[in-house]
Amino acid sequence: MNSDSRIYVAGHRGLVGSAIVRRLQADGAANLILRTHHELDLVDQAAVEAFFAIEQPEYVFLAAAKVGGIHANSTYPAEFIHDNLAIQTNVIHSAWKHGTKKLLFLGSSCIYPRDCPQPIKEEYLLTGPLEQTNEWYAVAKIAGLKMCQAYHRQYGFDAIVAMPTNLYGPGDNYHPDNSHVVPALIRRIHDAKITATPRVTIWGSGTPLREFLHVEDLADAALFLMQYYNDEHPVNVGSGQEVSIAELAGAIADAVNYEGELVFDTSRPDGTPRKRLNIDRLDSLGWRARIALKPGLEQTINAFALTTS
């Protein structure tokens, strides 16, 4: 892949896709192929087939997906499994059929078993029950991963899989109910400061441990893997550091100068108790994350504040 390659980024307006586009543009990519959802509905098999037949992308970053936090997964299970299965099936098959040289599929750390050993190695996939609060999304993502492996084995299609940990950064979804934990907390705590609300209620006990990766680091890792990795086995992408949800909320409160009380609602689900990735495989290839959590959160909060001012 070079600056003249025809590169399609599916989901270029999302958190991950937009970061990949920014990184590709910074590297001088001159032939990016981008389509909004209105221009190309990836759930529509005929539309995706026609797009690949016409555009003939050489490289594909498959960052398009229906995503959300615990509330969204619990509320819209049918959409989470249907839309993600359709997007993956359509894009992967059409990419192979129309001669794409290489495809990178974005999996997720949440597709690993709920109670697998920590830190989580790639080979722990499918060794135990999934976390029930996101099983619809997880089942779909596992199918996408296995589809990449199947096309790799049967057709020799260079489809690789990256398994990122929990992501955050500029361009995230800040919906108060349907977003992931970092943007949800930023939105809630920021709004509480602006409105002088004395307390913020947070779902769960605050004790679950999570690993977070800035999306710009993920974009860097995605380009690195596209250039240097071609095995069918998935690769974990993480920071190697973890914090509790309570510590995360406290760090966000400090960053926005919120002095109110953080209250944890233990009647709400916690999700997986701990989730940290083993990143030895990626580390052995020569890549490591560079953005620490504190400055990463500060940058993300500043970007969010600009959108609300």
Q: Which residues are catalytic?
A: 137
Residue 269: its pLDDT value, please? 84
pTM given for the model: 0.93
Binding annotation for NADP(+): 11-17, 106-109, 141, 164-167, 180
Please list, in sequence order, all residues whose beta carbon lies within 8 angstroms of the beta carbon of residue 45, skipping any fewer than 6 positions away.
86, 89, 90
Residue 309: its pLDDT value, please? 66
Residue 174: its pLDDT value, please? 87
Please write the tens of the pLDDT for every residue from 245-279: 999 999 999 999 999 999 999 999 887 788 899 99
- What is the phi/psi pair of residue 147, to 5°? -65, -40
Residue 69: its pLDDT value, please? 75
- Which secondary-structure segment (H or E) carries 74? helix 70-75
| The dihedral formed by the CA atoms of 177, 137, 217 and 193, expressed in degrees to the nearest 10 | 10
Please list the residues that pair with 213 across neighbouring strands: 167
Query: How many angstroms separate the CA atoms of 164 and 154, rounded?
Result: 26
Report the SS3 class of residue 209: strand
- What is the phi/psi pair of residue 168, to 5°? -155, 165
* DSSP per-residue letters across 95-129: HHHTT-SEEEEE--GGGS-TT--SSBPGGGTTSSP
Please write the tens of the pLDDT for every residue from 174-199: 876 667 889 999 999 999 999 999 99
> Which residues of the chain fall short of a pLDDT of 50?
none
Binding annotation: 11-17, 106-109, 141, 164-167, 180, 188, 203, 210, 270
Query: How many angstroms separate the CA atoms of 69 and 30, rounded?
Result: 35
- Domains delineated in the chain: 6-172+212-240+276-291 (3.40.50.720)
Binding annotation for substrate: 188, 203, 210, 270
